[in-house]
Chain A
């Protein structure tokens, strides 16, 4: 009886993870695509100090960070993937959303400030585990930063 309940809880969480995760992911992608097209006019440049700098009147550091959590379905999917190896497709959308959202947050701040370009853009990722270590669902943090300039 106990293990039957355990299975029921497991399947329930799996369904919750799948449907809720899918819903929020679609919603997030919709917002990402819209905002990407709205902020498309500002160039992002990844080269560092070597090339000649544009004629900047003002420069400022902009940081966009986001933490996105996996859902139960993705965690289980990735856990199963751990056994056989291969592309962890379940986490691909998670990181894709993280990178694009972090870049957008950086861009949006820079545009508000009046930047014409963002130079030296970098991306960093960190994984965050819950307080109980591996017992809880993991999240991923993505930070995008770059130097916004006014020409």
Chain B
């Protein structure tokens, strides 16, 4: 047998395909599948979350607040006339008796924001108290958070974020350890799409808040002034960091104001009336 030198042809052991095409195909497939799982599981999680009993919600809230508070402990105000006023005077008039009961946590920081956690824990930053000019304004912001609580929005969000977290853990451990950046890339996108209340949830909360405030004061005057002032500052949201915190968790103010004005017109609400001043503190 005679040996004839011959080169082995290329493209047998190596697929002749550019690596970027393979990579792109993988990314697109995985993103699509994850999104599908995220939305369907998220929907199920929400559906389950709103079936949770008040007692369980209270327990979940306890766990959440005890894990969040240490990070904020330096700024939590425990004995403060403003806290008493919020907890004892303003909140009961807006929310009445609730299950689980609502608890205000006052945080000493210039951030202008308020938030609600599962279990009826309302976080109020002192920056908000300095920014509002009447009780009507403050009542609307609080009533908005109370409305989120009544619609069980924080529980829905918790359900969704648990799904997000599990998905990320699966992605993070299913893939190699060195892909640390990938899960956070996914979670950043996730924060943008999933971990905010939807426009519908915000609008429903706004509508209930306004109707609540009107029931309490007999009119909707001044209630929206805080937002009108915010709307004026909106174009410079990049520079005003303390102001822009509110926008990062809430939809554009001008849109919200327009929707509320429209609603007031339809329902025939009185949108002017006497101002209720804030107590001196």
Select which of A3, A40, A41, A92 is within 8 A of B15 by beta carbon.
Answer: A92
How distant is B65 from chain A, measured CB to nearest CB, in Å? 24
B6 cross-chain contacts in A, Cβ below 8 A: 40
Q: Give 1 or 0 for each of A120-138: 1 = CB within 8 Å of chain B CB.
A: 0000000000000011110
Is A83 close to B, CB under 8 A? yes
Q: Please report the number of residue pairs spanning A and B whose Cβ atoms sit closer than 8 angstroms.
A: 87
Q: Which of A7-15, A61-69, A105-113, A139-147 contacts B (4 or more CB under 8 A)?
A: A7-15
Q: Are B177 and A135 in contact (CB under 8 A)?
A: yes
Determine whether the beta carbon of A6 is less than 8 Å from that of B30.
Answer: no
Inter-subunit contact B179/A7 (CB<8 Å): no
Q: Can you list 16 A-B pairs, Cβ within 8 angstroms, ordered by A?
A: A4-B188, A6-B181, A7-B188, A10-B181, A36-B8, A40-B5, A40-B7, A75-B178, A76-B23, A76-B176, A80-B26, A81-B26, A84-B30, A92-B14, A92-B15, A134-B176
Contact of B181 among A9, A77, A95 (CB under 8 A): A9
Pick the contact of B179: A74, A76, A81 (CB < 8 A). Answer: A76
Decide if A59 is an interface residue (CB 8 Å cutoff). Answer: no
A36 near B181: Cβ-Cβ < 8 Å: no
Given A37-B7, A40-B5, A96-B14, A73 contacting B19 (CB threshold 8 A):
yes
Partner of B185, one of A10, A43, A75, A92: A10
Assess whether B64 is interfacial by the CB under 8 Å rule.
no
Known contacts A77-B23, A89-B19; decide if A96 and B13 are in contact (CB<8 Å): yes
Complex CA gap A43/B5 in Å reads: 8
CB of B29 closer than 8 Å to a CB of A: yes
**Most chain-A Cβ atoms within 10 A of its Cβ — which of B26, B175, B177, B184?**
B26
When each residue 169-209 of chain B gets 1 if its CB lies under 8 Å from chain A and 0 otherwise, what string results?
A: 00100111111111011011000000000000000000000
User: B residues within 8 A CB of A6?
Assistant: 180-181, 184
Query: What is the bound-complex CA distance between A41 and B7, given in angstroms?
Result: 10
Besides A3-B188, A6-B181, A83-B174, 5 other A-B contacts (C-beta < 8 A)? A9-B181, A18-B19, A75-B178, A93-B14, A135-B177
Question: Which residue of B is nearest A14, CB measured?
Answer: B181
Within 8 Å of chain A (Cβ to Cβ): is B281? no
Map CB proximity to B onto A1-33 as digits: 1 under 8 Å, 0 otherwise: 001101101110100001000100000000000
Judged by a CB distance under 8 angstroms, whether B20 is at the interface is yes
- Please name the residue on chain A nearest to B174 by beta carbon: A83
Cα distance A40–B171 in the bound complex, in angstroms: 47
Could you tell me if B178 and A3 are in contact, using CB atoms closer than 8 angstroms? no
Whether A3 lies near B184 (C-beta < 8 A) is: yes
The answer to whether the Cβ of B72 comes within 8 Å of any Cβ in the partner chain is no
Q: Tell me the complex Cα distance, A41–B20, Å.
A: 37
Task: Assess whether B22 is interfacial by the CB under 8 Å rule.
Answer: yes
B161 to chain A, nearest CB (A): 15
Contact between B30 and A10, CB atoms less than 8 A apart = no
- The smallest C-beta distance from B116 to any residue of chain A, in angstroms, reads 24
User: Which residues of chain B have C-beta atoms less than 8 A from A90's C-beta?
Assistant: 19, 22-23
Chain A interface residue number, banded: 35 or more
Is B74 close to A, CB under 8 A? no
Contact assessment for B26 and A10 in the assembled complex, using a CB-CB cutoff below 8 Å? no
Return the chain A residue nearest B33 by Cβ. Answer: A84
Say yes or no: is A82 at the interface (Cβ < 8 Å to chain B): yes
Indicate if A114 sits at the interface (CB-CB under 8 A): no
Q: Within 8 Å of chain B (Cβ to Cβ): is A79?
A: yes
* Bound form: Cα–Cα A19–B182 in Å: 19
Closest 5 CB pairs of A and B: A10-B181, A40-B5, A80-B26, A3-B184, A79-B175
A87-B15 in contact given A80-B26, A80-B30, A81-B26 (Cβ < 8 Å): yes
Cβ A41 vs Cβ B5 within 8 A: yes
Complex CA–CA separation, A72 to B29 (angstroms): 20
Q: How far is the CB of B109 from chain A (nearest CB, A)?
A: 18
- With a CB–CB cut-off of 8 A, which chain B residues contact A13? 181
